[in-house]
Structure 1
Amino acid sequence: MNVKHKKYVFYFPYLFFILALSSCSSSDHSIKMKGSDTEVNLAVNLAEKYTPLDPSFSIAISGGGSGLGITSLLNGQADIANSSRPLSEKEAAAFKTKNITLKTIIFAEDATAFVVHKDLPISQVDVATLGRIMRGEYKNWSEIIPEVNLPINIYGRQSSSGTHSFVKKKLNIEFANTAKEMTGNAQILEGIKSDKSGIGYVGAGYVSSDINARQGVKVLKIKGPTDSLYYSPLDPVVINQSLYYFQRPLYQFVVADSWEKVKPLIDFEQSEAGRQLIREHGYYIIEN
């Protein structure tokens, strides 16, 4: 058996990662994982750590949004869909129509962070004000911060993103038609780092686990509709007590026909080593 070196391939705008370890590993043992940009870095790291435990392991991982991952499952182009939202009624019906059975894993808790440029003089915002910003009702920061006369530039995700759907639902809004649609967390952060009037949303795990990602931006504290205090998505105590308004479970949907080849990886994710890695990425473990 000829053993190949590990191979990493990245395609912009979506991350695409390949572990190819054995020239004789068949497609029956190869796993395709697609979906949530929120989860993609964690998924890659989990696969890296699992690889030494299974010499026959082969996986391709790509982002692109929760909707893309779910559609890929439906079309037979993936074994696992990472998703930062549950299935919609329409999606569930489509799987039923195609007689595709899914297994659902909730493997972590995430929070969505709202970020602004580090020099913008604001550190917290209530949900009502945030909704008016995101729907485009407030167009200039002077309407919120009197001393700042800058147009508000919104950085968000494409409609296929689970985070896009989650924020839209939590704020009960339609996003402003001027909102920039970015392909992932990294692009949103880079945009805001160079835009003093920008505001956007990213996975809190993405900014909490990467010091470089946090440089140049500020994570806002949020006060929910019934809250008396402002809470940070980077505070584990807050998340563990379910106090942060924009926190949610992270899902993995697995095609039942692929379960046997996927299960060893899922077992690793749920092991203490996997759970520790999840924590290191800034996510939170749901205790049963």
Structure 2
Amino acid sequence: MSYRLSEIYLLLMLMNKRQIILNTISIAFLAMIISSSVIGSKENTLVIQGSNTVFPIANLAAARFQECNPGITVTVGGEGSGAGIADLIDGKADVATASRFPKQSEIDEANNTDVELIVHTIAKDGIAIIVNPNNPLSELSFEQISKIYNGTYTHWSNLSLTVAVDPIRVLERDESSGTHDYFNEEFLNGEEVNPNTVSDYAQYQSTSQLFADVAENVNAIGYGGLAYVDETVKAVAVKKEEGDTAVTPTIATVSDASYPISRPLYMITNGEPEEGDLRKYWLDFILSVEGQSIVLYVGYIPIGNYLENYDPTNPPECKVIVEGTPFGFITVPIGIAIFALALRRRN
């Protein structure tokens, strides 16, 4: 008996989002190990590196892509948008993932090494402003967010709130993060947070680490991709101007643009992939109904009209792109491993 991804999807739906993200890491890691026994050339290997925000999409998509094509190995990293673009320029990655558009300095560096950065939009994301569930804060304006991060407001009492620990603990992503760059452009005029002007401060390489800090500290505030929001943190409603209605980030409010902090998510290649190029097969999969269903499933917003076609219980049949590969080779090991992981995490 084998487990298909339709069954895995149903199994994962019983878990919270943080468990889903952790499990997608396990899926991709197992797929990489198992499929490595049946590939023997670089042409059947795809290296994807970059955004920690895009990581859950790429990881789960890689598992399904390899399930359909056991002769292909897809490795996925999430060290940050800047790291992914740098690896693409250096020839260490086939596809870079990014939560921001390439900077002019990166474009110039690429041009100097005969690398053409082609940007493919694959999803949309809302940046959630999060606090601890025990913090009474319910909404913030853009101006208030800016004042918290530039050190004008250093205590929750500055916002007329009573919090068990009053000094605000300001959390941000590190400089390699595209989310970090987007947030600073939006709220700090492109400047960096000055740790000396805030009461308490920490910077994190990954979104999961930042969210864990907020979950543990009642005085903390942070930000991150919508897919990472779960019951351990509280996403506050946000409004651009004081007179506006504050809107909570959800798939629906980001999709209809009523939530005011959103951005596209990208995959970037060196040149436009042509027919027969593994990178094109990968991008075609990401932009297919099934690929966009994965985007929605992990908590981001598909592009196009894919919301109407989404059915996590009935994914399309595999489209095999490498002739002669032993179809189904990975299906049983991944299914059994995920089933075991799920049982262990639920107990």
User: Could you tell me how far 1:235 is from its partner in structure 2?
Assistant: 4.5
> Which residue pairs with 2:105 in the alignment?
90
Contact kept in structure 1, 2:38 and 2:71, CA below 8 Å: no
Which residue, out of 234, 250, 269, partners 2:265? 250
> Which residue pairs with 1:130 in the alignment?
145
Residues 38-117 of structure 1: pairs in structure 2 closer than 5 A: 38-117=53-132
| Mapped partners of 1:204, 1:58: distance in 2 | 28
Gap runs ≥5 in structure 1: 1-14, 208-213
Aligned residue pairs, count: 267
> Which residue pairs with 1:203 in the alignment?
225
| Mapped partners of 1:75, 1:30: distance in 2 | 17
Q: Does 1:277 align with 2:294?
A: yes
User: Could you tell me how far 1:102 is from its partner in structure 2?
Assistant: 2.8
Which residue, out of 183, 192, 196, partners 1:174? 192
Per-residue Cα deviation, 1:62-111 (whole angstroms, up to 9, x for no partner)? 11110000111111111111000001111111111111123321010001
| Mapped partners of 1:235, 1:284: distance in 2 | 6
| Mapped partners of 1:71, 1:169: distance in 2 | 21
| Mapped partners of 1:188, 1:75: distance in 2 | 29
> Which residue pairs with 1:184 in the alignment?
206
Gap runs ≥5 in structure 2: 1-24, 306-347
| Mapped partners of 1:45, 1:113: distance in 2 | 22
User: Could you tell me how far 1:268 is from its partner in structure 2?
Assistant: 1.2
Contact kept in structure 2, 1:120 and 1:196, CA below 8 Å: yes
Which residue, out of 46, 52, 63, partners 1:31? 46
Question: Quick one: which amino acid aligns to residue 224 of structure 1?
Answer: K
| Mapped partners of 1:287, 1:257: distance in 2 | 21
| Mapped partners of 1:33, 1:147: distance in 2 | 45
Question: Quick one: which amino acid aligns to residue 98 of structure 1?
Answer: T
Higher mean displacement: 43-52 or 161-170: 43-52
Question: Quick one: which amino acid aligns to residue 23 of structure 1?
Answer: V
| Mapped partners of 2:39, 2:232: distance in 1 | 46
- What is the percentage of aligned positions where both structures have the same residue? 26
Question: Quick one: which amino acid aligns to residue 77 of structure 2?
Answer: S
User: Could you tell me how far 1:147 is from its partner in structure 2?
Assistant: 2.7
| Mapped partners of 1:28, 1:42: distance in 2 | 23
Per-residue Cα deviation, 1:269-288 (whole angstroms, up to 9, x for no partner)? 11111111111111112228
| Mapped partners of 1:160, 1:229: distance in 2 | 33
Q: Which has the higher helix share?
A: 2
Q: Compute the TM-score of the two structures, normalised by the length of structure 1.
A: 0.87
Q: Compute the TM-score of the two structures, normalised by the length of structure 2.
A: 0.73
Contact kept in structure 2, 1:33 and 1:82, CA below 8 Å: yes
User: Could you tell me how far 1:226 is from its partner in structure 2?
Assistant: 7.8
Let me know the Cα RMSD of the aligned residues: 1.9
| Mapped partners of 1:235, 1:44: distance in 2 | 20
User: Alpha carbons of 1:97 and 1:116: their partners in 2 closer, same or farther (altered >3 Å)?
Assistant: same
Question: Quick one: which amino acid aligns to residue 30 of structure 1?
Answer: T
2:125 aligns to what SS in structure 1?
A: strand
User: Could you tell me how far 1:23 is from its partner in structure 2?
Assistant: 3.5
Question: Quick one: which amino acid aligns to residue 200 of structure 1?
Answer: G
User: Alpha carbons of 1:121 and 1:34: their partners in 2 closer, same or farther (altered >3 Å)?
Assistant: same
Higher Cα Rg, which structure: 2
Q: Which has the higher strand share?
A: 1
| Mapped partners of 1:226, 1:242: distance in 2 | 18
Contact kept in structure 1, 2:147 and 2:153, CA below 8 Å: yes
| Mapped partners of 1:258, 1:158: distance in 2 | 31
Q: Which protein has greater RCO, CA pairs closer than 8 Å, 6+ apart?
A: 2
> Which residue pairs with 1:10 in the alignment?
none
